[in-house]
């Protein structure tokens, strides 16, 4: 549904943004995560089980809350991006943006002509409130959309100054898992090559006009990231929260006799 993007405004006002992942494909879980007050909720079509129909149902469940719905598309592909935007998501996240050319293509896919190349069928879809807000939605043409490009490779870090200069990208989001893999070993966050790449990426993004985003990891908490200058973090996952709460419950209660 067409509405103001509270998360984007929050970031533009200089405030931090805290989001969660949605991987359970459950509208009830999505509604709970929104009601507790996350600034954004990321529906993961790259690594999660959802499709555009189930993503729409998750967004409908969150619609009573100001929580921004964000879709991570499977790939930086203009058809995938078009379909995601037609659902009415308030943020769009593309993995593996490795160059300024790829960043420019991402932005063009998000915008209607003449600024971009997004296909037009807005009167039919949820993004324009099924045509009820069509004129406003077309006039907006991405102004309320939060555009997030993931930096996940040494190539992307090498090209980051050029990527950061691309108009239309709002958040440059460091993907530590894929970046660690590209540095030599998945999950080796103590690798000097990885540490240097992250430090360089953080500094370039802080010196740019973009917001710095990322994920916590074992030796780097979300709160620590925010304290050292991150603007946006995805701090939690519904799957991991459920898993960890269940493990903790069993640890406390299994074997306790009456």
The one catalytic residue in 6, 23, 47, 176 is 47
Q: What is the CA radius of gyration of the chain?
A: 19
Largest CA distance in the chain: 71
Helix (H, G, I), strand (E, B) or coil at 180: helix
Joined tokens for residue 27: 């509208």
Helix (H, G, I), strand (E, B) or coil at 144: coil
Tell me how crowded residue 154 is: count the other CB atoms within 10 A of its CB.
Answer: 17
Q: Dihedral sign for Cα 30, 34, 38, 40, please.
A: positive
Cα–Cα distance, 21 to 236 (Å, whole number): 6
Q: Are 81 and 73 in contact (CB under 8 A)?
A: yes
- Does residue 47 carry a catalytic annotation? yes
**Enzyme catalytic residues:** 47
């Amino acid at each position: 549904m067409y509405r103001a993007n509270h998360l984007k405004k929050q970031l533009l006002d200089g405030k931090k943004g805290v989001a969660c992942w949605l991987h359970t494909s459950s509208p009830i879980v999505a509604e709970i995560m929104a009601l507790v007050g996350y600034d954004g909720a990321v529906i993961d079509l790259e690594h999660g089980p959802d499709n555009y129909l189930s993503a729409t149902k998750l967004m409908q469940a969150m619609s009573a809350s100001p929580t921004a719905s964000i879709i991570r598309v499977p790939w930086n592909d203009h058809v995938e991006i078009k379909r995601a935007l037609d659902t009415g998501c308030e943020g769009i996240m593309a993995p593996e943006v490795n160059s300024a050319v790829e960043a420019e293509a991402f932005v063009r896919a998000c915008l209607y002509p003449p600024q971009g190349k997004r296909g037009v069928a807005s009167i039919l879809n949820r993004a324009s409130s099924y045509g009820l807000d069509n004129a406003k939605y077309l006039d907006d043409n991405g102004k309320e959309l939060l555009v997030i490009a993931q930096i996940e490779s040494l190539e992307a870090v090498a090209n980051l100054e050029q990527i950061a200069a691309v108009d239309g990208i709002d958040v440059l989001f460091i993907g530590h898992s894929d970046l660690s893999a590209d540095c030599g070993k998945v999950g080796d966050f103590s690798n000097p090559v990885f540490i240097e790449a992250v430090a360089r990426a953080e500094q370039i993004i802080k010196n740019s006009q973009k917001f710095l985003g990322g994920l916590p990891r074992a030796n780097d908490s979300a709160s620590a990231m925010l304290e050292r200058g991150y603007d946006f973090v995805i701090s939690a996952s519904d799957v991991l929260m459920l898993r960890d709460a269940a493990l903790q419950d069993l640890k406390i209660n299994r074997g306790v006799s009456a």
